[in-house]
Homo-oligomer: A and B are copies of this chain.
Amino acid sequence: MAERKSRAQQIADDLRGAIRSGAYGAGDRLPTRAELAKRYDVASATIAAAIDQLRADGLVEGITGSGVYVRAHRPVLRSARNRLSRDERAAGRGAFTTDAHTGGWTPRSEVTVRTGPAGEQIAELLDIAPTEQVLIRDRVMYADDDVVQLATSYLPLAIATPEMAVPDTGPGGLYARLEEAGHPLTRYEETVRAGRADHDEAAALATTPGTTVFRLVRVASTAECPVEVNRITMLAERFELYYDLPAR
Contacts and interface: CB of A to CB of B under 8 A. Distances in A.
Given A196-B57, A199-B9, A247 B186 contact: yes
A84 B57 CA distance: 32
A188 interface: yes
Contact of A240 (B86, B191, B196, B244): B191
B194 A194 contact: yes
A3 B214 CA distance: 23
A28 interface: no
Contact of A243 (B190, B203, B213): B190
Interface in A144-196: 184-196
Copies of this chain present = 2
A187 B191 CA distance: 20
19 contacts: A2-B203, A9-B209, A57-B196, A84-B247, A187-B245, A188-B245, A188-B247, A190-B243, A192-B192, A193-B239, A193-B241, A194-B212, A194-B213, A194-B214, A195-B212, A195-B236, A195-B237, A196-B212, A243-B245
User: Which 5 pairs, one residue from A and one from B, show the smallest C-beta to C-beta distance?
Assistant: A194-B194, A194-B236, A192-B241, A188-B245, A190-B243
Contact of A246 (B13, B186, B192, B242): B186
Interface in A208-248: 209-210, 212-214, 236-237, 239-248
Nearest to A81: B189
Interface residues of A, number: 45
A246 B210 CA distance: 34
Contacts of A213: 194
A85 B248 CA distance: 5
Interface of A: 1-3, 5, 9, 13, 53, 56-57, 84-86, 184-196, 199, 203-204, 209-210, 212-214, 236-237, 239-248
Contacts of A13: 199
Contact of A203 (B1, B242, B245): B1
A213 B236 CA distance: 11
